[in-house]
Chain A
């Protein structure tokens, strides 16, 4: 799980432009439905929450259930009014949080 999340967004945008952000994080998303070779249920372990903030303001968030595919891919949009930093966070069932940051500047 040590893989860095992959995030795709433009480096710069015009003021007020709506940009598309694509994110992908490596995670098994163990559903809690599968059984191992001994017939025991493999405990659930998923990313249950994803958030995206821009300069401290909430842009998009997502509560995830076991019905989300492995290596969760989330694509959404954001309006850029100013230059700043996007902060992304993925919360695991075990409490660990994977974070990432991406900067964006305004086109002159």
Chain B
């Protein structure tokens, strides 16, 4: 009896925390739609590694704003440039993060954005070149405070 009371008291006290954390962990365990999004983006083709460099913090204290910088090695000329870059996160409620669309007028295939990460997870980038070739890169980010819900 005592144990139940203590548990109830804990639930009452930590109710807010539990409420916001529970749906997130429930969603995160079976992986989200990240893999499907990549498949859709690549058309099922294998993406090679290389060309992409991702700049992400190893440990993000606040999952609400995680700085993400991308550089793709490309001359960015009219007939050889980076067309699109897909970002997915495999531990968020939804896998999609952003899709960047470059053009030869971009000059450089570089961009920075700030993203939300609900928990420690992988951020995956897939780049599609103008000739249809695909490249991918991933990085794990440890998240101390989740960036969804609360």
Asked whether B98 lies within 8 Å of A18 as measured between CB atoms, the reply is no
User: How far is B76's CA from A31's CA once the two chains are assembled, in angstroms?
Assistant: 34
Asked whether B99 lies within 8 Å of A67 as measured between CB atoms, the reply is no
Number of interface residues of A (CB under 8 A): 30
Number of interface residues of B (CB under 8 A): 37
Interface of A: prevailing SS: strand
Q: Does B94 contact A (CB under 8 A)?
A: yes
Chain B 127-150, CB-CB to A under 8 Å as 1, else 0, gives 000000000000000000001111
Chain A 35-79, CB-CB to B under 8 Å as 1, else 0, gives 100010000000000000010011111111111111011111111
- Contacts A75-B112, A76-B111 hold; do A65 and B97 have CB atoms under 8 A apart? yes
Q: Does A34 contact B (CB under 8 A)?
A: yes
| Interface residue from A54, A58, A69 paired with B64 (Cβ < 8 Å) | A69
- Contacts A58-B103, A58-B105, A63-B98 hold; do A77 and B110 have CB atoms under 8 A apart? yes
User: How far is B76's CA from A74's CA once the two chains are assembled, in angstroms?
Assistant: 19
| Interface residues in chain A, defined as those with a beta carbon under 8 Å from any beta carbon in chain B | 18-19, 31, 33-35, 39, 54, 57-70, 72-79
